Structure 1
């Protein structure tokens, strides 16, 4: 008996474009650059506003650097990275890198940011236990991704976190979609043709981290990594390189 052939993967639908403001919520510096910076470049080119919210400063991410040195360095790299793709609003929540906890405090912090920025689209990173069922995800990614999905509803409910209203942050129930990058179950995609080069340069701004991560030339590493993923999705997106998302409507 021979193995049955794999079922063909379904085409990816273009991500909706009828929105103006997005808030991207992730755990660490470089998460967005590995996940979807090429899409962000495409959005900002179209005149859309994108803001970044990071739960940590990535201070535990480089073994050879003390967190007190590493955190500020990675913050600088993240701000430079965001600027490459047209993002100027970059906020940090100062949860501790490596030990971010899913719970009320994290949900409240993200809900507060959603109320401040009032996005129609929230972007986050893979919140599941694994990457593709083969590589174990980190607790920070899982916690922040789950909390971002939940905080969207929290942000729109006046009776959840009433202290936010007392601080002047009125409920915002205008989020229409949550787009999860890095998922193994994508449903939608953004054409990466125009944004891919800036996505590569955006990831390359995290040079200190990348030089520890790989012995390969940093630019070659960034280009091959991002181009490979984008081009692997082309057969499902009309032959165009793409950034994929799992889209949850509201």
Structure 2
């Protein structure tokens, strides 16, 4: 299911490639439906990758370029990097303010982010940066972005009026309850993942890996055999 009422969508993740593993098939569908989609990356991903001949500063540049190329695969051009250090993100007041600022700038109906909960079935989604960003994003959605008295400098100094987000979809949740049929966009999702060459270049079985888990999601959603789906936990926040 894809709710066409969302004309503006904001994706907030910790690292380049998080959105492409978690939700770029759905993002491609939103773009195809005419929605404006903005990516907000809390870090540059400078602590990721397997080539240790590249220092952290060089890796940040590589991963920003990879995320830009990946976003183009699904039609997204507005990408904002907050510049926090990879691997050391904390659910801080400062991060809440920075995400609330982007929410007030973009004014989305829907926000996609990582679950703040630890996933005991699949450890990958439980990276500490993922959990910190997910928690800070939920706090920025409620109460920060909608409360004109929260971070008054955003209104007084930057002219950013309060904004209420209607829904948040959490990626990587153990309790997914919302599925998006991405059968028509799965190839663009895989292309986006391949654009993150520093992270996926060693994965000879990337296609089968991605389609395997998306096929399992589709089965849980009751979609026909041969379908692919992305899974989210839907949180109504308005």
Among 222, 231, 243, which residue is 2:215 paired with?
231
Do 1:127 and 1:146's aligned partners in 2 also have CA atoms closer than 8 Å? Answer: yes
TM-superposition CA deviations, 1:199-228 (whole Å, max 9, x none) = 0000000012223xx3x42xx32x122211
Q: Is 1:27 the equivalent of 2:18?
A: no
With over 3 angstroms needed to count, the CA separation of the structure-2 counterparts of 1:197 and 1:133, relative to structure 1, is: closer
In 2, Cα distance between equivalents of 1:226 and 1:28: 19
Q: Is 1:177 the equivalent of 2:167?
A: yes
Q: Structure 2-normalised TM-score? A: 0.92
**Which residues of structure 2 form unaligned runs of 5+?**
none
Shift of 1:127: 1.7
With over 3 angstroms needed to count, the CA separation of the structure-2 counterparts of 1:245 and 1:163, relative to structure 1, is: same
Counterparts of residues 17-96 of structure 1 (less than 5 Å)? 17-62=4-49, 64=52, 65-96=54-85
Do 2:167 and 2:236's aligned partners in 1 also have CA atoms closer than 8 Å? Answer: yes
Counterparts of residues 86-125 of structure 1 (less than 5 Å)? 86-125=75-114
| Structure ID, larger Rg | 1
Q: Is 1:204 the equivalent of 2:204?
A: no
**Which residues of structure 1 form unaligned runs of 5+?**
1-13
Do 1:15 and 1:188's aligned partners in 2 also have CA atoms closer than 8 Å? Answer: no
Q: Structure 1-normalised TM-score? A: 0.88
Segments of 4+ moved more than 6 angstroms? none
With over 3 angstroms needed to count, the CA separation of the structure-2 counterparts of 1:55 and 1:172, relative to structure 1, is: same
Shift of 1:125: 1.4
TM-superposition CA deviations, 1:37-72 (whole Å, max 9, x none) = 111111111111111000000001135021110001
TM-superposition CA deviations, 1:93-140 (whole Å, max 9, x none) = 001100011110000000000000000000001221235265682110
Among 137, 148, 161, which residue is 1:158 paired with?
148
Q: Is 1:191 the equivalent of 2:175?
A: no
In 1, Cα distance between equivalents of 2:120 and 2:5: 30
In 2, Cα distance between equivalents of 1:151 and 1:195: 30
Do 2:43 and 2:84's aligned partners in 1 also have CA atoms closer than 8 Å? Answer: yes
Aligned length, in residue pairs = 230
Secondary structure of 2:43's counterpart equals coil
Do 1:124 and 1:181's aligned partners in 2 also have CA atoms closer than 8 Å? Answer: yes
Taking only aligned residues, the RMSD between alpha carbons, in angstroms, comes to 1.5
